């Protein structure tokens, strides 16, 4: 088996919304396709050769992780805007509609210049990969050429992604608006053709197109209707959009679509609400909308950093989880001021605590599993990985480790040599030499501290489909 890679070390693997498995001694074999061939947990060092022999891998080269390192599935960012990275950290004084007008649209308009797009997107995608995002749902701008460039760069850097060109033919500035529904759909079709023509990485098309009506406000009925027709022609095409983020936005949407029963109802009316629709924000949904989203099995991208930063509100994510709605996390740059999913995880934790603090005392003791309660660590990890995978319709391929899934993974280093002061001293624990149970407990601590105090310095390797594509040890 020439091109098989066998990794041996500590692995944390999400198993459900409330649990992960952890093994200090895990063996993972990854085939030349980048898919996982087999996994064996808890292979103590003295059992290593026997276990390899039982798998027909006598004398195989094993890549052993060092002490203070562990593997987790790569992060899935279910919602971000690549052209907004140059604005990171600005505009927090505005709420959504003014923020779009004064901060966001002027920046996005610059991507009419393809050379500017090429230079910007190359560094944007590199930074996002190195921050540990192995799968990313990207919004480009309205420009066809610039968005093709974004898809080309994602493809050449080896990230898994959905790339969409924004559809927006009304309520936008004169220099940043599409001239008609027809041209918007024509360019969308051209982008889809372009992305589908990119060569696969082995047996896998890592980059896929996604239909991207920016939000209901920016699309005429004609445009939404044509996008619905386009979506109907290919049930596999993902759809991404914004929903119910801000009260001013919701009121304006109702004015523009007086016949629709609700904001979610607008998308539904045009055939855009289905099981592979990714709805960003969902801060202020009504009960009927929550029911509609559940019935359609659409997914929600929870973007807590952005919801705080643009003063939008705190989404009731626990309620959605209780209802069985699919939820993932999104950075929503630059509504969110940080491109790392670690930051989205931290703010998802804080957002859940804010809701629990504001909830009536009685509801804190209710029988709900998640609503009005803080989110436990396994839940946060799940949302950032397997939850996001389900929102993207990729749950069979990524989000956790299992035979036949792709090896999309992060090698995390929590040793002091990572240079991250927040994690210093972790490996000094006597538990390093303790029992299996003690080692598992130490792994829990490593994970929690990485999620809350870690950064790019701790991300040693980023693998997508079995290929090393980023991280500190990646030579570029």
Ligand X SMILES: Nc1nc2[nH]cnc2c(=O)[nH]1
Q: How far is the CB of 160 from ligand X (least distance, A)?
A: 22
Q: How far is the CB of 185 from ligand X (least distance, A)?
A: 19
Q: Cβ closer to ligand X: 184 or 306?
A: 306
Tell me which residue has its CB nearest to ligand X.
Answer: 335
Q: Cβ closer to Zn ion: 171 or 332?
A: 332
Asked if 111 and 153 count as a contact pair (C-beta separation under 8 A), the reply is no
Q: How far is the CB of 212 from ligand X (least distance, A)?
A: 10
Report if residue 104 touches ligand X, rule: CB under 6 A: yes
d(CA 271, CA 110): 32
Q: How far is the CB of 332 from Zn ion (least distance, A)?
A: 4
d(CA 118, CA 124): 10
Q: Which of 156, 154, 119 is nearest to 139 (CA)?
A: 154
Report if residue 108 touches Zn ion, rule: CB under 5 A: no
Q: Cβ closer to Zn ion: 210 or 418?
A: 210
**Residue appearing with tokens 């629990």:** 356
> Packing angle between helix 114-130 and helix 144-157, nearest 10 degrees?
30
Q: What is the DSSP string of 280-319?
A: EE--S--HHHHHHHHHHT-EEEE-HHHHHHTT-----HHH
Q: How far is the CB of 381 from ligand X (least distance, A)?
A: 24
The interface with ligand X within residues 298-317 (CB under 6 A) comprises 306
Report if residue 326 touches ligand X, rule: CB under 6 A: no
Contacting ligand X (CB under 6 A), which of 245, 268, 289, 408? 245
Burial class (CB in 10 A: 0-12, 13-18, 19+), 45: exposed
Which entry of Zn ion, ligand X, none binds 77, CB below 5 to 8 A by partner kind?
A: none
- Residue 47 CB contacts under 8 Å (≥ 6 apart), including other chains: none
Phi/psi at 13 (5° precision): -135, 115
Report if residue 245 touches Zn ion, rule: CB under 5 A: no
Asked if 111 and 124 count as a contact pair (C-beta separation under 8 A), the reply is no
Report if residue 130 touches ligand X, rule: CB under 6 A: no
Q: 166 is written with which tokens?
A: 């924004």
Report if residue 87 touches ligand X, rule: CB under 6 A: no
From 16-24, 96-104, 289-297, 338-346, span contacting ligand X (CB under 6 A)? 96-104
Report if residue 332 touches Zn ion, rule: CB under 5 A: yes
Asked if 241 and 279 count as a contact pair (C-beta separation under 8 A), the reply is yes
Residue numbers of the site for Zn ion (CB under 5 A)? Answer: 332
Task: Return residues touching ligand X (CB under 6 A).
Answer: 81, 96, 100, 104, 214-215, 242, 245, 306, 332, 335
């Amino acid at each position: 088996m020439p091109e098989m890679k066998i990794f041996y070390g500590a692995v944390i693997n999400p198993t459900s919304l409330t649990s992960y498995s952890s093994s200090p001694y895990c063996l993972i074999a990854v085939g030349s396709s980048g898919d996982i061939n087999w996994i064996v947990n808890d292979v103590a060092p003295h059992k290593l050769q026997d276990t390899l022999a039982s798998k027909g891998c006598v004398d195989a080269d094993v890549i052993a992780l060092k002490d203070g390192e562990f593997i987790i599935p790569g992060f899935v960012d279910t919602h971000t805007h690549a052209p907004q990275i140059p604005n990171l950290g600005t505009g927090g004084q505005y709420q959504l509609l003014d923020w779009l007008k004064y901060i966001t649209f002027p920046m996005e308009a610059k991507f009419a210049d393809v050379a500017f797009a090429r230079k910007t997107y190359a560094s944007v995608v590199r930074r996002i990969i190195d921050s540990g995002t192995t799968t990313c749902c990207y919004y480009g701008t309205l420009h066809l050429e610039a968005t093709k460039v974004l898809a080309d760069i994602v493809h050449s850097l080896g990230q898994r992604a959905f790339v969409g060109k924004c559809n927006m033919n009304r309520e936008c500035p004169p220099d940043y608006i599409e001239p008609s529904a027809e041209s918007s759909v024509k360019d969308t079709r051209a982008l889809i053709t372009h992305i589908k023509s990119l060569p696969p990485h082995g047996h896998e098309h890592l980059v896929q197109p996604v239909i991207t009506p920016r939000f209901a406000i920016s699309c005429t009925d004609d445009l939404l209707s044509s996008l619905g027709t386009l979506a109907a022609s290919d049930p596999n095409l993902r759809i991404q959009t914004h929903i119910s983020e801000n009260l001013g936005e919701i009121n304006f949407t109702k004015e523009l679509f007086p016949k629709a029963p609700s904001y979610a109802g607008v998308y539904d009316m045009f055939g855009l609400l289905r099981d592979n629709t990714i709805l960003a924000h969902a801060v202020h949904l009504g009960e009927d909308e929550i029911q509609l989203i559940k019935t359609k099995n659409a997914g929600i991208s929870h973007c807590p950093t952005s919801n705080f930063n643009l003063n939008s509100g705190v989404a009731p994510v626990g309620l959605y989880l209780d209802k069985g709605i699919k939820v993932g996390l999104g950075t929503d740059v630059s509504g969110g001021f940080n491109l790392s999913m670690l930051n989205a995880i931290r703010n998802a934790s804080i957002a859940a605590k804010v809701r629990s603090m504001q909830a009536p005392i009685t509801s804190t003791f209710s029988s709900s599993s998640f609503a009005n309660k803080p989110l436990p660590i396994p839940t946060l990890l799940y949302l950032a990985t397997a939850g996001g995978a389900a929102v993207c319709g990729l749950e069979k391929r990524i989000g956790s480790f299992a035979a036949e899934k792709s090896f999309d993974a992060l090698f995390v280093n929590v040793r002091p040599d990572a240079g991250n002061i927040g994690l210093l001293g972790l490996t000094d624990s006597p538990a390093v030499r303790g029992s299996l149970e003690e080692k598992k407990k130490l792994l829990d601590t490593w994970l929690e501290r990485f999620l809350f105090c870690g950064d790019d310095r701790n991300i040693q390797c980023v693998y997508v489909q079995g290929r090393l594509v980023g991280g500190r040890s990646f030579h570029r």
